[in-house]
Amino acid sequence: MQDIIKLSQLVEQIQETIQTQFDNEVFWISARIMDVKKYETNRRCYLKLEEYENGIKTTEIRAVFWANYYHEIEKFEKVIKQPFKDGTEIICKVKVRFHKVYGLNLDVMQIDVAHTLGILELERQQTLEKLLKENPKTIQLFDGVYKTYNNRLQLPLVIENIALITAPNSDGQRDFQQEIKRNKHDYTFSVTEFLTTIQGDTAHKLILEQLNLIEKNKQRFDVVAIVRGGGSQTDFKPFDDYELSKCVANFSIPIFTGIGHDRNQSTVDLMAREQKTPTKVASLFIEHNFEFENSLIDLKTRLADAVKEGLENAKDELGHAKRIVKLSSPQAILNRGFAIIMSNNKIVVDPKTIKENSQLQTLLKDETIYSTVTKKTKNENRLNI
Amino acid sequence: MKTDLTYSDAYSKLEELVEQLEEGNIPLDKLSLKVKQANELISICENKLRNIQTEVNETIKAVTKRQKKKGSG
């Protein structure tokens, strides 16, 4: 019979072998994370690192972020703006650890955030390319700017009826409504809320459902606002979804986004009219109406000026007419040295009516001369007085 | 003037009217009428911004509701 050793002896041998082999060496590995369990209070995260080939899992090992490395997860979520969640492909620095009770583990010490960011950016670029390729009539790229059917729609002169897509009781909902209500110009807005979850794996589908609802009542709305904000900075993935982006690009009511982030714009942002925050979307609507009011004020001023000018012109014309009338009066003519010739108490207009020996009265400014016509001749030339 | 005119139609008409006035195409005897029309058009546009009629209706509704409540209570 072979020698029997204790379990602990065997496990110690394994431990020694592992320690000798790896000797606290660190490795950079690529893997997919699964079964992520985060314990924020004691700052630990337990997970599995996996590898797949042709969709089949080929490798799996347990891993841990201990408290002194938990900040790596926080950094990841802050930079990537997505939760550190199952299915994410990461590159991370690990150390092999073997514990006699808990077995084999990889201690994760660092995450290559830039790598994950690169993957996400690549996915985003692929989505944008697909949007351009499959919707050539409604989505085009000019000088780095996406022109879509939606973001080229003309806005009404006044924005009044707003369809608001947001999460219930969210900061985005509150910020938008507050800004709309406290507008200092007292403009009237009618905001209809379409409440839904806008984070998580199914968010893009839920937002699509709300857009479909709005589309059915499109006569009721001037614009659509999709807002989220404050709170969590994670999970912008729904806004990079192809189907949602396509729907936004082709939507028949102008869409404004205020989904609060500072990294690259999401694809939905690019297909719509993007503002950074819910508050900014609301203030843009107020500003839009203010512009209309200003143009109305401008028209009122022009109207008053035109009426004033019209009246002044009429007054001037009347004055002019009065002057002409005054200058044309017989007395004014006599004053200027002209004379009026009368015959039989009628002004002589046609000299043909005057014959030789006719009795004439010549009216001058101060006197009247009575005379008899002795001779009549035609003027050879026009008088040169 | 038609009261069912939309505010955007009213705005276009107002622009047109102001241009006519600026060009001096309105005879003096029509000026008063045109100014009256312009003021009506301005009201339609301003009401759109602050929706005075809606607010009035809302107030009437609220008052009627309150009166009904009082009556039944």
- Asked whether residue A144 falls in the same domain as residue A203, the answer is yes
Mean pLDDT for chain B overall: 77
B68 vs A193 pLDDT, higher one: A193
**pLDDT attached to residue B19:** 92
- Asked whether residue A141 falls in the same domain as residue A279, the answer is yes
Give the span between the Cα atoms of B38 and B13, in whole angstroms. Answer: 8
Give the span between the Cα atoms of A181 and A161, in whole angstroms. Answer: 14
Q: Is residue B70 scored above 70 in pLDDT?
A: no
The reply to whether A278 falls in a domain is yes
The reply to whether A384 falls in a domain is no
ipTM score for this prediction: 0.72
The DSSP call for residue A69 is G
- Over residues B49-64, the pLDDT tens digits come to 887 655 555 555 555 5
**Around Cβ A318, how many Cβ atoms within 10 Å?**
11
* CATH code, A47: 2.40.50.140
pLDDT by 10-residue block (mean), chain A, 385 residues: 88 93 92 94 95 92 96 89 87 94 94 88 91 96 94 96 94 93 91 90 92 95 89 68 96 93 78 93 96 95 90 87 85 85 88 88 90 86 60
What is the pTM assigned to this prediction? Answer: 0.70
**pLDDT attached to residue A231:** 45
The reply to whether A222 falls in a domain is yes
- Asked whether residue A234 falls in the same domain as residue A267, the answer is yes
**pLDDT attached to residue B67:** 58
- Asked whether residue A356 falls in the same domain as residue A264, the answer is no
- Asked whether residue A126 falls in the same domain as residue A208, the answer is yes
Task: Quickly state the pLDDT bin for B73 (edges 50, 70, 90).
Answer: very low
Domain hosting A98: range is 7-115
Chain B segment 11-70 residues within 8 A of A by beta carbon are: 11, 14-15, 17-18, 21-22, 24, 26, 28, 31, 35, 38, 42, 45-46, 48-51, 54-55
Confirm if A223 and A163 have CB atoms less than 8 A apart: yes
Inspect the interface and report whether the beta carbons of A303 and B50 lie closer than 8 Å: no
| Ranges of H-type helices in chain A | 7-22, 71-80, 113-134, 171-181, 203-216, 242-249, 267-271, 278-328, 330-335
Give the span between the Cα atoms of A247 and A263, in whole angstroms. Answer: 23
- Asked whether residue A158 falls in the same domain as residue A275, the answer is yes
Chain A residues inside the 8 Å CB shell of B55: 188
| Ranges of H-type helices in A143-272 | 171-181, 203-216, 242-249, 267-271
Task: Quickly state the pLDDT bin for B3 (edges 50, 70, 90).
Answer: low
Give the span between the Cα atoms of A278 and A260, in whole angstroms. Answer: 7
Chain B residues inside the 8 Å CB shell of A310: 21, 24, 26, 28, 31
- Asked whether residue A236 falls in the same domain as residue A353, the answer is no
Interface mutation target, options B17, B34, B45, chain A, most CBs of A under 10 Å: B45
**pLDDT attached to residue B58:** 57
A332 CB-side CA count, 13 A? 7
CA distance B51 to chain A (A): 6
Nearest to B48 among A158, A186, A311 (CB): A158
> What burial class does residue A159 get, using C-beta atoms within 10 Å of its C-beta: 0-12 exposed, 13-18 middle, 19+ buried?
buried
Inspect the interface and report whether the beta carbons of B18 and A314 lie closer than 8 Å: no
**Residue in B with minimal Cα distance to A183:** B50
- Asked whether residue A239 falls in the same domain as residue A269, the answer is yes
Give the span between the Cα atoms of A252 and A154, in whole angstroms. Answer: 10
- Asked whether residue A45 falls in the same domain as residue A22, the answer is yes
